[in-house]
């Protein structure tokens, strides 16, 4: 894992943008797995600024949503769908043929996971996966547990996830989550994880210990051959 220490969130975001743009230049039809939440927001805004200058660069980009809060309408402003539509999909002009995602309120969650698995099988693997570090060490909605699921699956949300800022903004509260599995994430050709915030100091220290455990799903990234970790200095200094 390549770890780069940055002085602030803006520096992390600019580095992330440069990495993403660099990968798109290498492979115009890049399959980008996009996380939602505060960590990648500024990097996405910088991507949109890049699109406004060079729209043709993004004309073949494909995007898959990393995870979703479920049991709520997809147009709820707190869903991952609403976030990605606002920050990436619409601003980058990504059509339905270049975007696939979990429904936030599917009739059959298991069939929805099967649908996403089939899309990954035909469109994947993911070329570049964007991640953040959860307060309890989760990746996407792969929560700490005795074992982790490899493929798209339904997950029970922990208290840490239910206290996420996105949920606090929701009109209705999610009852479960749908997420890509650890196998999907680790099968990505390249992974970029953005970590900032001194409120995560404890879990960051555990992550940086390099001890791999299912009770800290992010630790599995130490097993991947091409991970770049962009981390805020405030998160590691005492």
- Where do the domains of the chain lie? 2-235
The residues that are catalytic are 67, 136, 138, 143
Show the 3-state SS of 102-169: CCCCCCCHHHHHHHHHHHHHHHCCCCEEEEECCCCCCECCECCCCCCCCCCEEECCCHHHHCCHHHHC
Query: What's the pLDDT band for 164 if we cut at 50, 70, 90?
Result: low
Best CA proximity match to 59, nearest among 94, 33, 109, 83 = 94
pLDDT at 232: 87
What is the chain's length? 238
Tell me the two tokens of residue 161.
């996830």
pLDDT tens digits, one per residue of 122-146: 999 999 999 999 889 999 999 999 9
pTM: 0.93
Q: What fold is seen in the domain 2-235?
A: Rossmann fold (3.40.50)
Query: What's the pLDDT band for 162 if we cut at 50, 70, 90?
Result: low
Residues paired with residue 213 on neighbouring β-strands, in sequence order = 216
pLDDT tens digits, one per residue of 180-202: 999 999 999 999 999 987 788 89
Q: Are 12 and 230 in contact (CB under 8 A)?
A: yes
């Amino acid at each position: 894992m390549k770890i780069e220490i940055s002085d602030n969130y803006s520096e992390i975001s600019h580095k992330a943008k440069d990495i993403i743009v660099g990968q798109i230049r290498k492979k115009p039809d890049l399959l980008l797995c996009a996380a939602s939440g505060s960590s990648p927001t500024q990097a996405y805004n910088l991507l949109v600024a890049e699109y406004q200058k060079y729209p043709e660069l993004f004309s073949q980009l494909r995007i898959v949503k990393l995870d979703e809060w479920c049991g709520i309408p997809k147009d709820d402003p707190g869903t991952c769908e609403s976030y990605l539509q606002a920050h990436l999909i619409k601003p980058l002009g990504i059509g339905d043929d270049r975007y696939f995602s979990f429904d936030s309120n599917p009739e059959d969650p298991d069939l929805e996971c099967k649908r996403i698995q089939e899309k990954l099988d035909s469109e994947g693997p993911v070329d570049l996966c964007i991640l953040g570090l959860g307060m309890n060490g989760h990746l996407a909605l792969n929560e700490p547990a005795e074992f982790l699921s490899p493929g798209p699956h339904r997950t029970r949300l922990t208290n840490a996830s239910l206290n996420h800022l996105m949920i606090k903004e929701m009109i209705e509260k999610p009852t479960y989550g749908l997420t890509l599995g650890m196998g999907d994430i680790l099968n990505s050709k390249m992974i970029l994880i953005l970590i900032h915030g001194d409120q995560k100091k404890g879990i960051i220290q555990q992550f940086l210990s390099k001890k791999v455990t299912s009770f800290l799903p992010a630790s599995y990234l130490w097993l991947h051959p091409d991970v770049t970790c962009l981390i805020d200095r405030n998160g590691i200094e005492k």
